[in-house]
Every structure is written in structure tokens, then in C-alpha cells.
Amino acid sequence: MTYLLKSRSEPTQLLPASSEEQQRKINEVRELLGDLPTEMPNFLSDATIRRFLRARNWSTTKATKSLKETTSWRRHYKPEKIRWESIADSENEAKRAYIPDYLDKNGRMVFVTLPAIKIIKRFLEPRMNEKVKFIYSNNSESQKIMGDMFDLDKLEYIFGGRNTAEFDINMYAERMKRRDRVRGSWTQDNGEASSNNTKPNED
């Protein structure tokens, strides 16, 4: 059986020489963003801006452009307001795409999607082919790739891990509801709920 593992290609990054230089670039991006940091203070934190700067090789112009596009998307779709109960046909959706209860070895969240159709490697576009890795069950090289990225004791057995627990929709639903409660409480405490309702200027 074959599985598709999507990985983000990491370009060579030009890291600023010091933390002071990094902060200077973060402050520069804040100025370029105008009123957006006030509208979305929790999303446009220093950590978020730093992440976008790293992804754009510390180019303040490119990072600002990406952040403006992202905030525009968030303003339109309001992902912070999505809750488990609001997802139509939650059980079927969860079986097709879900967030497992473990992180990868770099501490990043894992998102699992099950494609509706079989993906054939030779038909992928060259650029997409560079961003994905095909993982084969019972293949030593594939197991090494997964072992380098995940704790195999937690990784599901269908992906080459040793976790044989079956997907339980009820347990998953309770975990998602807990995440919603924590996120909702954090948002209220930090005021983003009210700031996101601020009507943007219509220039």
C-alpha cells in the first residue's frame, strides 16, 4: 500500500545576524502592515511575523505581502470561529481528514488527509513531485523516513507506525470540543473576538 507524505521544501534561509536585527525586521513589517496588527493582535504576534519572515528569507516586503493575503483570507473566512459542532457531517469529515493526538519530532502539528482517489507518482507535476514523498508499507527506506519524522510508538500502523488503536470518532469529537473551549477562552481573554469584529476601512 502506498501513502503520500507532503513535505514543505525548506529554502536556504538568510538568518539575520542577531536577535536585535530580527526584531528590527519584525518591527518594520508591523509598520508596513499599518492597522492590521491592531485588528488581529493575537494572530499578528511577533512569533507569526517571524515565521513569515523566515519563510521569505527575511524579506520584509515579501513577508508583508504574504501576511496581508493571509489576514484578508482570515477576515473573510473567520477560521477562529469554526467549531466542531459547526462542521457539517462531522463524522465523515473526520474520517477523511483529522488532527492526530501527537506532534512530529520537530514539535509541529500533524494533519492527516485521506485522498479520495489514488495518486500516481508519474502523473504529478514536477513542482508538486518535489514537495511530496511516497511512503510504502513494509519498505525499509519508507520506514526510515517516517521514523526520522515521527515517534513510531504513536504513529498509526497504516503509516508504518506501531500504534494499532482504531480511530474512535467519539473520542476525537471530545478532543476537538476541548480544543474549541480552550481556544474560545484564550480568544476572549486576549480580546481577539472583539477586535476581529471591527469593521475594516473601505478605501
* Model confidence band, residue 112 (pLDDT cutoffs 50, 70, 90): confident
In angstroms, how far apart are the furthest CA atoms of the chain? 58
pLDDT at residue 63 is higher than 90? yes
- Of the candidate ranges 28-32, 107-111, 160-164, 199-203, the one whose mean pLDDT is the lowest: 199-203
pLDDT in tens, 73-107: 999 888 877 777 776 566 666 667 888 999 999 88
Region 127-145: what's the mean pLDDT?
78
Break the chain into its structural domains and give their ranges.
19-80, 84-189
Residue 121 in this model has a pLDDT that exceeds 90: no
pLDDT of residue 134: 78
- Measure the CA–CA gap between 6 and 29, rounded to whole angstroms: 30
Q: Give the model's pLDDT for residue 79.
A: 80
Is 187 within 8 Å of 42 (Cβ atoms)?
yes
Q: Enter the C-alpha cell of residue 130.
A: 518535489
Antiparallel, parallel or unpaired: β 112-113 and 2-6: unpaired
CA distance 62 to 118: 36
Q: What 3-state class would DSSP assign to 186?
A: helix
Using CB atoms within 10 Å of the CB of residue 170, give its burial: 0 to 12 exposed, 13 to 18 middle, 19+ buried: exposed
99 contacts 109 by C-beta, under 8 angstroms: yes
pLDDT-derived band at 199, boundaries 50, 70, 90? very low
11 pLDDT higher than 60:
no
**pTM score, two decimals?**
0.55
DSSP 8-state secondary structure symbol assigned to residue 58: T
